[in-house]
Amino acid sequence: MLFAASLAGCGGQFHDYRRAASDGRRQGVYHVVEPGQTLWRISRTYGVDVEEIAVLNGIPNPDRLRAGARLFIPRAQRTLAVPVHGGPPPPKERPRWAQAEEPASRGGVNAGRGGLRFSWPVQGKLRHRFGSRNGMKYDGIVISARADAPVRAAAAGQVIFSDWGPGGFGRTIIIRHGEGEYHSIYAHNAENLVRKGDVVEGGRLIARVGRTGNVDQAQLHFEIRHRTVPQDPLSYLP
């Protein structure tokens, strides 16, 4: 399943596969993009890091937002009016995740891209694979595991999100790897054990397996993104 039920930008789309609301603990709002609004201005207005918004909503190009798209804004208490004109311009030096998308290596990171290596985040049984089937789209894999089993960082990086996620994802963690070339996502956690800003090594304990959000059993939803675009995690795991 995917993060948000919206088409956030050209080619970027997330659907919660049950299109379910959270269980009343959602921490954030959905902002409907109006013509002329930019991701940078939306970020500044809400006081939320632009990378968080981009990754949570799967935005491959921050300069191209579709009017009418619904963006999940974490921690916001209410929707705000975002100026169409004026306000801060996009940064001159683009962060790595916001640069033009390039095809990821077919062999994945474990084929030797920049020395980064991903490992399995939890011990369990593969329940759902990446892709679409039976009318449901999965932007990652789902691993069934015992409740409270340790969830470990799949690679070294920095935590950019540790909070209640959008849709039915429950407690969620996002880790940036390198300068944002890759991100990994861990959802439905019983407990998040790291905070935004923490720097973690690969294999570090970051969460406990749970069933928060709209799921019926203990499991981990795990994604790997090339910048902000979902990839098949099985192409990157040993």
Give the model confidence (pLDDT) of 11-46 as tens digits.
333 333 333 333 445 589 999 999 989 898 999 999
DSSP 8-state code for residue 39 = H
Identify whether residues 127 and 219 lie together within a single domain.
yes
Any residues with CB less than 8 A from the CB of 115 and at least 6 apart, and which?
none
pLDDT for 232 equals 96
Identify whether residues 166 and 224 lie together within a single domain.
yes
- Residue count of the chain, please give it: 238
Identify whether residues 75 and 126 lie together within a single domain.
no
Residue 173 has pLDDT above 90, yes or no: yes
The answer to whether the CB of 159 falls within 8 A of the CB of 141 is no
Residue 209 exposure: Cα atoms within 13 Å on the Cβ side: 22
The answer to whether the CB of 196 falls within 8 A of the CB of 152 is no
100 domain residue, yes or no? no
Identify whether residues 202 and 139 lie together within a single domain.
yes
Identify whether residues 115 and 186 lie together within a single domain.
yes
Number of domains in the chain: 2
pLDDT for 228 equals 87
pLDDT band of residue 119 (cuts 50, 70, 90) is very high
If we measure between CA atoms, which residue out of 117, 113, 48, 119 comes closest to residue 77? 48
Instruction: Give the range of the structural domain holding residue 184, as residue numbers without chain letter.
Output: 109-235
First to last CA, the chain: 22
We report the CATH number of the domain holding residue 71 as 3.10.350.10
Identify whether residues 121 and 38 lie together within a single domain.
no
We report the CATH number of the domain holding residue 124 as 2.70.70.10
Q: pTM for the complete prediction?
A: 0.82
Identify whether residues 225 and 166 lie together within a single domain.
yes
38 domain residue, yes or no? yes
190 domain residue, yes or no? yes
126 domain residue, yes or no? yes
Report the SS3 class of residue 53.
Answer: helix
Identify whether residues 133 and 53 lie together within a single domain.
no
Beta strand pairing call for 205-209 and 229-231: unpaired
Return the residue matching tokens 């470990």: 152
94 domain residue, yes or no? no
Max distance between CA atoms of the chain, in angstroms, equals: 51
Supply the mean pLDDT for the chain: 82
| DSSP per-residue string spanning 56-111 | HHT-S-TT-B-TT-EEEEET-SS-----SSSSPPPPSS--GGGSPP-PPPTT-GGG
pLDDT for 95 equals 61
Distance CA 44, CA 210 (A): 33
pLDDT for 157 equals 97
Of 57-66, 130-139, 157-166, 200-209, where does the model show the most confidence?
200-209
| Of the listed ranges 86-95, 159-168, 203-212, the one predicted with least confidence | 86-95
The answer to whether the CB of 143 falls within 8 A of the CB of 122 is yes
Identify whether residues 121 and 30 lie together within a single domain.
no
